[in-house]
Amino acid sequence: MSEIHYFPRYSQPENVVTNNTLLLLLRLHQFNRFKFEQFMDLVCEDQEIELAGSWLQFRQQMGSGKSVVDGFIAQDSLKIAVETKLKGSFDSQQLENHFGVFHGEQHKVLILLSPALAEIPTAQLVLLRRQAELQDIQLIHASFHDIVMKVRRCLSEHDEEMRALISDYESFCSELGLLPRDQYTLFVPPCGRSFEMNERLRLYYCPATWSRRKAKYIGIYKDRKVRAIGEISKTAVCTIDVPHCVVTVDGDTVALTPEEKERIIDATNDARSYGWDITSGHKFYLCDSMGPTEFRKTSSGGIMGHRYFDLEHVLGSSLPKDLTSLATALRGHEWK
Q: Closest by alpha carbon to 209, among 182, 171, 183, 241? A: 171
What's residue 19's pLDDT?
Answer: 87
Sign, CA torsion 243/244/245/251: negative
Q: What is the pLDDT of residues 220-264, one digit of tens each?
A: 999 999 999 999 999 999 999 999 999 999 987 799 999 999 999
Question: Average pLDDT of 312-323?
Answer: 95
Reported as a pLDDT band with limits 50, 70 and 90, residue 304 is: confident
What's residue 224's pLDDT?
Answer: 92
Reported as a pLDDT band with limits 50, 70 and 90, residue 276 is: very high
Predicted model pTM: 0.81
Give the Cα separation of 222 and 224 in Å (integer). 6
3-state secondary structure of 280: coil
What's residue 2's pLDDT?
Answer: 39
In contact, 219 and 188? CB cutoff 8 Å: yes
Question: Average pLDDT of 73-79?
Answer: 71
Domain edges within the chain: 13-154, 181-335
Cα 166 to Cα 10, 114, 308: the distances in Å are 18, 17, 13
Give the Cα separation of 44 and 13 in Å (integer). 26
Helix (H) or strand (E) holding 75: strand 68-75
Angle at 276 between CA 8 and CA 169, to 5 degrees: 20
Q: What beta strand segments (E) does 200-332 contain? A: 203-207, 217-222, 225-241, 246-249, 282-297, 307-310
Instruction: Provide the percentage of residues in the chain whose pLDDT is more than 70.
Output: 89
Give the Cα separation of 290 and 315 in Å (integer). 19
Q: Closest by alpha carbon to 233, among 217, 247, 220, 249? A: 217
- Helices 144-154, 13-31: axis angle to 10 degrees equals 10
| Residue 239: partners with Cβ closer than 8 Å, 6 or more residues away | 247, 248, 250, 279, 280
pLDDT at 31 over 90: yes
**Range in 37-41, 115-119, 309-313 the model is least confident about:** 115-119
What's residue 67's pLDDT?
Answer: 55
H-type alpha helices, the chain: 13-31, 33-45, 92-98, 122-133, 144-154, 160-175, 195-201, 258-272, 311-315, 323-330
What's residue 107's pLDDT?
Answer: 85
What's residue 4's pLDDT?
Answer: 46
pLDDT at 131 over 80: yes
Reported as a pLDDT band with limits 50, 70 and 90, residue 192 is: confident
Reported as a pLDDT band with limits 50, 70 and 90, residue 66 is: low
